[in-house]
Amino acid sequence: MARDVLDQPVKPVQERIREIENTPIAANLGELLDRAAVEKPDTLAWNFFESGETITYKDLGHRSEMLAKGFFRHGVKRDSHVILMMPTIGAFPLTWLALGRLGAVVIPTNAGYTAREVAYVANDGDAEFALVHTECLPVLEEARASGAYKIADDHIFVIGAGDHRYRRWESLEADGVSGPAYPRDVDRTRLFNIQYTSGTTGFPKGCMLTQTYWLTTGLVNGYRDGRQYDRIFVAGPFHYMNAPSFLMMALTRRATLFVAVRRSLSKMMAWMRDNRIQFAQIPVLIDKEPPHPLDGQNEIVRANLYRVWGPRHAEFEERFNLVGRDAFGMTEVGSATFLPLEAVDMVGSGSCGIAAPYRQIRIADPEGNELPAGESGELLIRGQGILLGYYKKPEVNQRSFHGDWFRSGDVAYKDARGYIFVVGRIKDMIRRSGENIAAQEVEAVLNTHEAVLESAVIPVPDELRGEEVKACLVLQPGVAASDGLIEDILAHARKDLAAFKLPRFVEIYGEFPKTSSGKTAKQTLIEAKNPWGVTIGWRGEGEAIGVVEVELKNTI
């Protein structure tokens, strides 16, 4: 049974951490792939089990090499900036790794981005090349037509069926067979990813990540528990952090990554059983699914669970016969903390664990000074492989660090044993399904609608996604609130915001509460229900679930 793993003896956690930190890592991604191809040639590197798309380590090594040579033949070289924009298919990680062999700089881009968002990322990231799927091509072309940025036609590669005038990704491997050799001495400490994440400035910021970041991430996730992981599961896109992080874990362990296109609560445990998964991130909300006689039949060694406290944690473990543990990470630093499997006394405590390998944690006051155990302050993180900084954002970088300590923007405290508890946020952000959404960016789009006088975007708790996006609006004088108007405002926002950033809740105010300096008092909006507004709830991609209309008043 899966929970029997707790009876298996392992080295003490601090000894495991020291061993990981003393383990030599590969010189770069190319060396990692070449070693894996020799050591486990016939093992599957990944299995997109819904489509049946698989690849062995031998073929991954060869195909990524041919792709690298094909890109090199067509002008992509070390430090070239390349957009990757495609759905959850094997071509994404294959191309990502091939560009890593070259030492190119990859800009993973959300396939759901609008033309405005693509243009911003391409321009801000100094993109010279783009590889996109045919379903993303219209958005890329719309962004190019806007004149916001320019990428030459012969620097665009397209994957998928359809007629177009660009180079085909499918031809790159063949081009690489006779292509010239490329320099292989890639420095793992140089820039590899510009990974965009939302920031409080209103526009996404490009986290500058190195190959060291990814190599240490794979080592930490793969070996921190002292257990064997041969079958690892992930659901969702490779432009986001979970999939490449779990891929690096699989590559480091020479394991197989099982990939689902998207998360499904109703199918999750069947996927675990059918694929004999040993490691996965599992949404705790599956405990709301109807009980199934096979709920407890699985081979899970560790399930990453987030935002589960109190007796619900133990009940979840009991029902699904697994060991669930929390952790804390973010785009900027990768894995920051983890709760060891053997920490059974912390089940239900709400702790995200202790400092992960290669990471030091400090709870600090506003000046960066360490606070004593039990006192809440900002969670600071430092260590090998964290971000180099934000791309072309020197002012933001200055604010984001105390020396070499990265400021997470999260409020936390540490108990006497070193266990960390995250209790809130400092930054004006909404964290929805792991995606950081800048309130200011959403507000900037909403405020361009002719009926909106001002807006304030705030988080609301959500069991499935952690937080949802709520837009509080003050309308222009004389404009009447109605469900039709709200639908029009959201349709306007949809033109310039990816679907995950769209407000799911809208509330109309006569005016906002203000601070003494004249700023909107967002905490008041978060803490108090508005009895003076019109609330419209939205779910999914904008399906209305109800309207509550009350009289508008001019004051709050």
Domain positions in the chain are: 26-187, 213-425, 429-548
Q: Taking the chain, what is the end-to-end CA distance rounded to the nearest angstrom?
A: 57
Residues 280-291, mean pLDDT to the nearest whole number: 89
The residues pairing with 349 across neighbouring beta strands, listed in sequence order, are none
Chain segment 113-129, per-residue pLDDT in tens: 999 999 999 999 999 99
Distances (CA, A) of 501 to 202, 259, 438, 456, 492: 12, 24, 9, 14, 13
Q: What is the pLDDT of residue 199?
A: 57
Judge whether residue 530 has pLDDT over 70. Answer: no
Torsion 401-411-219-65 (CA) sign? negative
CB 173 within 8 A of CB 84: no
Q: Using DSSP bridges, classify how beta strands 360-364 and 377-382 pair: parallel, antiparallel or unpaired.
A: antiparallel
Give the tens place of pLDDT for each residue, 60-83. Answer: 999 999 999 999 999 999 999 999
SS3 (DSSP) at 80: coil
Ramachandran area for residue 62 (φ above 0: left; ψ -120 to 50: alpha; else beta)? alpha
At residue 280 the predicted structure's pLDDT band, cuts being 50, 70 and 90, is very high
Cα(102)–Cα(186) distance, rounded to whole angstroms? 7
Say which residue the tokens 């349709």 belong to. 491
Checking if the pLDDT of 25 tops 70, the result is yes
Nearest to 130 by CA among 169, 162, 186: 169
Model confidence pLDDT, tens digit, residues 320-360 = 999 999 999 999 999 999 999 999 999 999 899 999 999 99
Give the gyration radius of the chain's Cα atoms. Answer: 24
- From the CB of residue 98, how many other CB atoms can be counted at a distance below 10 Å? 30
**Cβ contact 411:423 at 8 Å:** yes
DSSP string, 103-141: T-EEEE--TT--HHHHHHHHHHTT--EEEEETTTHHHHH
List phi, psi (to 5°) of 348.
85, 0
The CATH fold assigned to 26-187 is Rossmann fold (3.40.50)
Instruction: Please state which CATH class domain 429-548 belongs to.
Output: alpha beta
Give the model's pLDDT for residue 531: 43
Pick from 67, 59, 77: nearest CA to 97: 67
| 3-state SS, residue 364 | strand
Contacts of 495 (CB under 8 A, 6+ apart): 114, 116
Pairing between strand 354-355 and 334-338? Answer: antiparallel
For the ranges 3-7, 136-140, 199-203, 272-276, which has the lowest average pLDDT?
199-203
What gap in Å lies between CA 87 and CA 309, rounded to an integer? Answer: 34
Continuous segment of H or E residues that includes residue 174: helix 172-177
pLDDT(536) > 80: no
Nearest-angstrom CA–CA distance, 429 and 427: 6
**pLDDT above 90 as % of the chain:** 70
C-alpha 291: how far from chain center: 30
Region of 345 (left: φ > 0; alpha: ψ -120 to 50; beta: rest) is alpha
| Candidate ranges 189-203, 401-415, 511-525; pick with highest mean pLDDT | 401-415
pTM: 0.83
User: Is there a shared CATH topology between the 26-187 domain and the 429-548 domain?
Assistant: no
Please tell me the distance from the alpha carbon of residue 355 to that of residue 335, in angstroms, as a whole number. 9
| Alpha-carbon span 319 to 294, nearest angstrom | 10
* Distance of alpha carbon 253 from alpha carbon 259, whole angstroms: 17
Name 308's Cβ contacts closer than 8 Å, sequence gap at least 6: 284, 316, 324, 326, 348
Residues written for the chain: 556
Residue matched to tokens 């359809």: 162
Task: pLDDT band for 544, please (50, 70, 90 cuts).
Answer: very low
- The CATH code of the domain at 213-425 is 3.40.50.12780
Contact 49, 258 (CB under 8 A): yes
What pLDDT sits at residue 516? 52
pLDDT category of residue 529 using cuts at 50, 70 and 90: low
Locate tokens 């958005």: which residue?
A: 139
